[in-house]
Amino acid sequence: MQHKHHARLGAAAAGALALAAELHRRTLDIRRRTLGPEHPDTLTSHSSLAAALAALDRPTGPAA
């Protein structure tokens, strides 16, 4: 039973990371439109999204 508990915790964590990545993506889109692509807050959003995608083991480069 313990392994099922750990599997559920892993799935929940992955779900939270996926949600975080989506929220970072939305924030980035809004900041690009309202602040422009070179604004420091927009660049911070880029970094946050990249970190969330890296945690999910998804590519973040131009070929992604």
Is 6 within a domain?
yes
Q: What is the pLDDT of residue 61?
A: 60
Instruction: Note whether residue 11 is domain-resident.
Output: yes
User: In this predicted structure, what is the pLDDT of residue 12?
Assistant: 67
- Per residue in 19-33, pLDDT (tens digit) is 989 999 999 999 999
**pLDDT on residue 14:** 75
Residue 60 inside a domain? The answer is no
pLDDT confidence of residue 64: 47
Say if residue 58's pLDDT is above 90. Answer: no
What confidence score (pLDDT) does residue 8 get?
A: 59
Task: Give the span between the Cα atoms of 64 and 54, in whole angstroms.
Answer: 12
Residue 62 lies in a domain: no
Does the residue 61 lie in any domain?
no
38 within some domain: yes
**Which residue range forms the structural domain that includes residue 9?**
2-55
Q: How many domains does the chain have?
A: 1
> What whole-number distance in Å separates Cα of residue 23 and Cα of residue 55?
14
Please report whether residue 64 resides in a domain.
no
35 pLDDT above the threshold of 50: yes
